Structure 1
Amino acid sequence: MPRPSSFRLMTLNIAHGRGLSPYQGFHSAKSIERNLNRIAYLLRRVDADVVALQEVDEDSHWNKRIHLLNVLQERAGYEEGYLGVHNRRAGRLPLAYGNGMLTKFSIRHAEHQAFGRASLGEKGFMCAELETDHGILPVINLHLDFKSRLRRIEQVERLIKFLEEKQYTSDMKPHLSPIICGDFNARRGKRTDAVRHLFRYLVESLEYQLFPKNKSRTFPSILPTHGFDFFFIPPSYKVTDCEVLRSFVSDHRPVTLELEIPSPIDHHKQ
């Protein structure tokens, strides 16, 4: 019988490659490149199978139009990547950025949704269906609004609708249960906010677990006061480790998670 597959995942908001600076436009191209080298070094050191990144630019004036995901993919040595652009603005000061993913697995299918139509500050999510030895694994990389609690709730409802339309939450499916992660811009303990809202849906109907389990803080990275970055993990997966890393490549600290996915036979029984 096949043994469980062990995977390592990481989620990190890379803050447009600006490091700890308050604004990426203050940096030269060389400075952005140095920050990308620091992120790439972190990625190589962690050696995750799947990396979910937020605030990743494809073609933006404020970081000298450097395609951040392509640079990190090459320097960290990942086989595949996908960037879901949620903000796009043409003209003299172009913008194009969103959520990205780097992975050692083949991407069978990937798509993304923006929550609105704004050309600046728009949030959204992307979903990549990854080909693993034990089946197709959907991984959803989410970034929620940082200003409005009500908007975050609306955005979570959009994600829930997506999950149900894709039948990711159905028992009749040819794929593994999805993993959801990202920057929620909300604390886990606030009962009326987005993390608890999604948690209630996933826990009550699907018995998901939320990681990190303790009150780990991820933002800001120098002296963190809030935990904004999370993983939602299906009950059939065994989490063996979850850690918030002490890192200063961004204003967020990265969260890593190691888990085991059971063999197809075991997964079918659960």
Structure 2
Amino acid sequence: MQITFASYNIHKAVGLDRRRDPERILTVLREVNADVVALQEVDRRYGRRMAVLPLDMIQASTDYVPVPMSMKPDSLGWHGNAILVRKGIDLVEAAPVPLPVLEPRGAVRADLMIEGRRLRVVGMHLDLSGLRRRHQVRSILSHCADCAQRVPTVMMGDFNEWTRAGGCFREFDRDWQVLAPGRSFPSRRPMATLDRIIVSSEWDVLGTSVHHSPLSAVGSDHLPVSASLVLPKF
């Protein structure tokens, strides 16, 4: 069973041209063409935390369905984090993952059913502080460990970690593989691998990539990253 996962910090749909253009973001998502997408900065930060990607626009112009996660009626996600799944993928359960924070940060979890297999997806946007990032990763790992059952898991998002293998990535033991698809920030001239995908030991990795197109180069300050994974048969 081959599945493509992607992560994209959409910068509240404000591009390098300073225009808020949700349709441009949705076009980039269609270019990436992943099965499951974790988005960061998908809601406005203040006030009613309104979604910058309107639900009706997502449903009308893509094959995605947002995982219901909002704690606020006008939001798409939780602290700006959201998960989109391709139509036809079944949602088993979903929950926000509280993180130790001083600034608004969060993570979201969705358990999905694809071709009869249950799997878990966690999307996140971690802190700027290195010590706090490590505490946040521990909280996410503890949350998953406390779930009713262990299932193949993919964690992805903007880790805000500039080191390639140290920092918060030290929290992942040998049961996890930290993937670095490539430089994704800043989008115009990428220098840092801030956007990562981390997979549990059940997955085989076919490949990873950074999506660089004319639209993605200006649509946000991050580029989307993706990984093609295979879940072997029982």
User: Same fold per TM (> 0.5)?
Assistant: yes
TM-score scaled to structure 1, two decimals?
0.73
Aligned position for 2:156:
181
Helix, strand or coil at the partner of 1:223 = coil
Identical pairs, percent: 27
TM-score scaled to structure 2, two decimals?
0.84
CA deviations 1:133-182 (Å, max 9, x no partner) are 14111101011002x11111111111121122115xxxxx4x63111111
**Structure 1 position 15 matched with structure 2 position 11:** yes
Aligned position for 2:33:
47
Gaps of 5+ in 2: 73-77
Gaps of 5+ in 1: 22-26, 89-95, 168-172, 266-270
Aligned position for 1:250:
220
**Structure 1 position 153 matched with structure 2 position 137:** no
Give the Cα–Cα distance (whole angstroms) in 2 for the partners of residues 7 and 54 of structure 1: 20
- Would the aligned equivalents of 1:8 and 1:49 in 2 still touch at CA under 8 Å? yes
Give the Cα–Cα distance (whole angstroms) in 2 for the partners of residues 19 and 239 of structure 1: 31
Relative to structure 1, the CA distance from residue 112 to residue 140 in structure 2 (aligned partners, 3 Å threshold; closer, same or farther) is same
Give the Cα–Cα distance (whole angstroms) in 1 for the partners of residues 189 and 209 of structure 2: 17
Q: 1:19-168 alignment to 2 at 5 Å?
A: 19-20=15-16, 31-32=19-20, 35-57=21-43, 65-68=50-53, 70-71=55-56, 73-82=58-67, 84=69, 97-104=79-86, 105-116=89-100, 121-146=103-128, 148-166=129-147
Give the Cα–Cα distance (whole angstroms) in 2 for the partners of residues 83 and 184 of structure 1: 23
Superposition CA RMSD, Å: 2.6
| CA shift for structure 1 position 235 | 2.6
Relative to structure 1, the CA distance from residue 137 to residue 41 in structure 2 (aligned partners, 3 Å threshold; closer, same or farther) is same
Helix, strand or coil at the partner of 1:219 = coil
Relative to structure 1, the CA distance from residue 257 to residue 71 in structure 2 (aligned partners, 3 Å threshold; closer, same or farther) is farther
| CA shift for structure 1 position 212 | 2.4
**Structure 1 position 261 matched with structure 2 position 231:** yes
* 4+ residue segments displaced more than 3 Å: 58-63, 83-86
More helix by share: 1
| CA shift for structure 1 position 252 | 0.7
Larger radius of gyration: 1
Helix, strand or coil at the partner of 1:56 = coil
Aligned position for 2:75:
none
Relative to structure 1, the CA distance from residue 82 to residue 74 in structure 2 (aligned partners, 3 Å threshold; closer, same or farther) is same
**Structure 1 position 219 matched with structure 2 position 170:** no
Aligned position for 1:24:
none
Q: Aligned AA for 2:137?
A: V
How many residues align? The count is 223
